[in-house]
Amino acid sequence: MFLSLFLQASAANNPMQLIMLLGFVLVFYFFFIRPQQKRSADARKLRENLSKGARVVTIGGLHGRVAELSEDKVVLEVDKGLRLTFDRTAIARQLDAAKTTGETAA
């Protein structure tokens, strides 16, 4: 008996519940899933477009200039003669040329 009353009540509210559920799914997608996919795509694009001489920062905060590149490794020169090897996935961002030389955009 209780189950039949519950089913009758839920049948009356079903369209509204469906709309609310759809709304939650859309909000979750646009505020959480989509931005994360965009960040991942941007990071992948950055790592694919690395070139020798680029100034980069690793995920650990180490600043250096790209000295050598391979498929999955990057060798950074952090000081004259001091080279460290990292995975490509450890590169967090590339520094702008204007920032590294101290120039300002006119």
Domain residue limits, the chain: 1-49, 51-101
Cα 93 to the chain's mean position, in Å? Answer: 11
CATH topology of domain 51-101: SH3 type barrels. (2.30.30)
79: three-class secondary structure by DSSP: strand
pTM above 0.85, yes or no: no
Residue 34 in this model has a pLDDT that exceeds 50: yes
What pLDDT, in 10s, does the model give residues 68-89?
999 899 999 999 989 999 999 9
List the Cα angle 26/27/28 in 5-degree steps. Answer: 90
